[in-house]
Amino acid sequence: MADQADLIAPPPANVYVARVAEVKHYTDALFAFSCERPAGLRFRSGEFVMIGLMNGPKPLLRAYSIASPAWDEQLSFYSIKVPNGPLTSRLQHIQPGDEILVGKKPTGTLVLDALTPGKRLFLISTGTGIAPFASLIRDPDTYERYDEIILTHTCRTAPELVYGEEVVAAAKADPLVGEAAAQKLRHVTSLTRDAHRLEGRITNLIENGALFAHLGAPAFDPAQDRIMICGSSAVLHDIKAIAEERGFVEGANSEPASFVIERAFAG
């Protein structure tokens, strides 16, 4: 059993302690929160970091994509509430002013530097997988490097699209990137279990051409398109296969290429 000293154990040296600024609940299973950005924390837009809470004497940490851009004063996150999840069952109750732990070493492959230059950038997300793209669509580099940015977000039901609608609206209203976002950013949503303008899994919409018909734009072309993918492991697996079939090559920080993937972490 933890004694009193354990309960007030100091956080370990590999994490910062940051104060929660805002918390917003979207559905019974989805919420977003932000905290002050620890002074020493550096990251590239699209990366993830360990986030958590003290659990008695030990930190309980999970990887979370940072949903705010590299230049922002605040760090934002978007999370599912995992039923009986050790971290999210507590994290979902945080309030402004509470303290959370933030790892000191953000990392990840959903970064612009892991892709070779191209014309169109497809950001393909399902569920909370939109989080790293919320960061990238507010980064001026994204608009400097690409002529067109197409963010797709597929969820089961309509309320799950609200966070994405808000982050896209925020990008278009952003003093730094708003003008570029208004010109270059397109947001395409599809639902799999509710009626919607575009219905079906993104894999099907790519394969049957409905995504491109909806955009009024040509299908994937590895010569000019770059793709980032973020969702569950099944989604990553299936879209990776589609991308590779069409001649795209997976990139990494050390070897940029034409597509990159990252799982949507939560726990």
Binding site for ligand A2P (CB under 6 A): 126-127, 154-156, 192-193, 201-203, 232, 234-235, 238
Tell me how far, at minimum, the Cβ of 79 lies from ligand A2P, in Å. 13
Task: Render the burial of 14-25: b for 16+ CB within 10 Å, e for the rest.
Answer: ebbebebbebee
- In the complex, what is the shortest distance from the CB of residue 100 to ligand A2P, in angstroms, rounded to a whole number? 24
Question: Closer to ligand A2P at the Cβ: 177 or 211?
Answer: 211
Sheet holding 259-263, edge to edge: 185-191, 148-155, 120-126, 225-231, 259-263
Q: Specify the residue, 104 or 201, whose C-beta has the smaller distance to ligand A2P.
A: 201
- The number of beta carbons lying within 10 Å of the beta carbon of residue 232 is 15
DSSP 256: -
Question: Least distance to ligand A2P from the beta carbon of 218, Å?
Answer: 22
Are the CB atoms for 44 and 135 separated by under 8 Å?
no
End-to-end CA distance of the chain: 24
Residue 264, CA atoms < 13 Å, CB-side half-sphere: 25
Tokens found for residue 156? 């089961």
CB of 215 to ligand A2P, least distance (A): 18
- In contact, 40 and 13? CB cutoff 8 Å: no
Q: Is the CB of 9 or the CB of 162 nearer to ligand A2P?
A: 162
> Measured from the CB atom, is 116 or 157 closer to ligand A2P?
157
For residue 80, the minimal CB distance to ligand A2P (Å) is 8
**Closer CB to ligand A2P, residue 56 or residue 209?**
209
